[in-house]
Every structure is written in structure tokens, then in C-alpha cells.
């Protein structure tokens, strides 16, 4: 997969991209990430990327020309014929659809992805209307620009690409797409500051351990994120139990 990221601050991506899973995925050629500075697509002496908002108001708006030209360049230089047509061009914006694991899966299915990061008061509306094919928000809180949101999207998508996670982890993940929160996990020491690991986990009884973990996941989900149980994969007994507790 190829991911092109347009930003006024492309340097900020180097840290996250050069660690851990994303780093390995890039090294192994499973994903290629191109960082492009929107400022490089200006033509005036001052490399102007923003301007005042028509109609007035505080703050600056990103001009459309450099962003359109950057995407044109990506389409020219990396698309072999028909591919440019269906190329997803994602604008990160507080007004986008709320990012989720489902959207990550959808994005991971494309061979090529373009992410546009705005700054200041956002981008000229014509970018949204005539260039972006999709708008995504990572949550209802205010960021200063789209960069951190794009990093979240990249990390969530890259993890899903074939070969990125080890087969063991991805198999666990598959079976774990239960829609429940995770069960509590422990490692050594067996007792830390007087706090002991639950005895069941030391029993070696794998059927009992699996049962305990499932219960813990269900109870935790019920307590913290009850709405997840509406769509979680539950056994008939679990569904019955849940309905008796909260109809």
C-alpha cells in the first residue's frame, strides 16, 4: 500500500513512523509513506499557503491551489492509468465521519491512500467539495491541525495490512474481534506490593482460564461501555444474561 500525506509540517510524522510496527512495515516494503509539504506546491515568492477568509472572521484559511496541485502531482506520478479515478483522498477534519476500526479496515483495502492535513482555521471549502472523496475525524475534541489525526489513521490502517503483524498476533486479533473490551492481564511477579495475580491464572486449567477471561471481558464491557454489548458477538446464554441485566 502507498500512503501520501500532505501537510505543512511533514517533519512531525518522522517520529511515529520510525518506531515499532509502522517502522517495520515500511522497512519490509509492506507500506510506502510519502510525506509532501503543501508549501512545495506554491508558485509565489513567499510560498503563500493561507489567506484571509472571505466574509471576514479571525484566522487564516488554507488556499486551494497548492493542495489541488499536490494531489494532481500524486495522481500524475504514481497512478498507472485508471487508478487515479478511485483514489481515496481523505481530508482530516472535525466535521468528518467518526474514525473507527471499521473505517480503518475499509481504508486498508485500498492500494493507495492520500491524506490531507489542514491547519489554522481549516481548508478552503472547494478542497472538501471537489478534491476530497472522504472526510474523517478521530474524535470530538479540538486539535490544532490534521497531522495527529492522520498519524492515528496511518497507525490503525498499517496494522491491518497483510504481513504487518505476526501470524500469532493477527490470529489472536481475528478471534478477538469480539466487540468486547479486553480482559485483565498479568505478568510476573506473582505478588507485587502485596497484590496477587488471580489464582485461576496460575492453575494451568486452560478451559477455566478461558471462561474467566470471557466473564471478565463481559463484566468490564457491561460496566464501562455497555453500548458495545448491543453489537458484540455474544453466545445465546450471554445475550440472555445481558438482556436480564440491561434490556
Contacts with ligand JD8, 94-123, as mask; x by CB under 6 A: x-x---------------------xxxxx-
Task: Give the one residue of 30, 79, 143, 201 binding ligand JD8; rule: CB under 6 A.
Answer: 143
Task: Give 104 or 232: the residue with its C-beta nearer to ligand JD8.
Answer: 104
From 46-54, 106-114, 134-142, 203-211, span contacting ligand JD8 (CB under 6 A): 134-142
Task: Check if 174 is active-site.
Answer: yes
Residue 211, all three cell numbers: 471462561
Rounded CA separation 215/221 (Å): 10
Size of interface with ligand JD8, in residues (CB under 6 A): 19
β-pair partners for 196: 191
> What's the closest the beta carbon of residue 143 comes to ligand JD8, in angstroms?
4
The binder of ligand JD8 chosen from 10, 64, 66, 146 (CB under 6 A):
146
How do strand 50-52 and strand 32-37 relate by DSSP bridges?
A: unpaired
Q: Measured from the CB atom, is 64 or 145 closer to ligand JD8? A: 145
Question: Quick check: 217 and 177 in contact, CB under 8 A?
Answer: no
Task: Mark the segment that binds ligand JD8 (CB under 6 A) among 2-10, 34-42, 132-140, 163-171.
Answer: 132-140
Nearer to ligand JD8, 153 or 217 (CB): 153
Report how far residue 1's alpha carbon sits from residue 31's, in angstroms, rounded to the nearest whole number.
5
Out of 37, 137, 216, 221, the only residue in the binding site for ligand JD8 (CB under 6 A) is: 137
Phi, psi of 54 (to 5 degrees): -55, 140
**Which of 7, 145, 160, 164 is in the footprint of ligand JD8 by CB under 6 A?**
145
Residue 62 Cβ, how far from ligand JD8 at the closest point, in Å? 8
Tell me which stretch binds ligand JD8 (CB under 6 A): 87-95, 102-110, 164-172, 190-198: 87-95
Active site residues: 94, 121, 159, 174
Which residues sit at the interface with ligand JD8, rule CB under 6 A?
A: 92-94, 96, 118-122, 137-139, 141-146, 149
Amino acid at each position: 500500500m502507498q500512503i501520501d500525506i500532505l501537510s505543512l509540517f511533514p517533519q512531525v510524522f518522522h517520529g511515529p513512523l520510525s518506531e515499532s510496527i509502522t517502522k517495520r512495515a515500511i522497512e519490509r516494503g509492506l507500506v510506502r509513506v510519502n510525506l509532501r509539504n503543501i508549501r512545495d506546491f506554491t508558485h509565489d515568492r513567499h510560498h503563500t499557503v493561507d489567506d484571509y477568509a472571505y466574509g471576514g472572521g479571525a484566522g487564516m484559511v488554507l488556499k486551494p491551489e497548492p493542495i489541488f496541485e499536490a494531489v494532481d502531482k500524486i495522481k500524475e506520478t504514481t497512478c498507472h492509468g485508471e487508478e487515479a479515478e478511485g483514489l481515496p483522498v481523505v481530508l482530516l477534519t472535525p466535521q468528518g465521519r467518526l474514525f473507527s476500526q471499521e473505517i480503518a479496515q475499509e481504508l486498508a483495502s485500498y492500494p493507495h491512500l492520500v491524506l490531507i492535513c489542514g491547519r489554522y482555521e481549516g481548508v478552503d471549502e472547494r478542497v472538501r467539495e471537489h478534491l476530497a472523496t472522504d472526510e474523517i475525524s478521530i474524535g470530538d475534541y479540538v486539535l490544532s491541525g490534521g497531522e495527529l489525526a492522520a498519524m492515528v489513521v496511518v497507525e490503525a490502517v498499517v496494522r491491518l495490512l497483510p504481513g504487518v503483524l505476526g501470524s500469532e498476533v493477527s490470529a489472536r486479533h481475528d478471534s478477538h474481534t469480539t466487540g468486547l473490551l479486553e480482559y485483565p492481564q498479568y505478568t510476573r511477579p506473582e505478588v507485587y506490593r502485596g497484590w496477587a495475580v488471580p489464582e485461576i491464572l496460575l492453575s494451568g486449567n486452560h478451559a477455566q482460564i478461558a471462561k474467566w477471561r470471557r466473564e471478565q471481558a463481559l463484566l468490564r464491557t457491561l460496566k464501562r461501555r455497555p453500548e458495545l454489548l448491543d453489537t458484540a458477538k455474544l453466545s445465546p446464554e450471554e445475550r440472555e444474561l445481558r438482556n436480564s441485566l440491561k434490556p
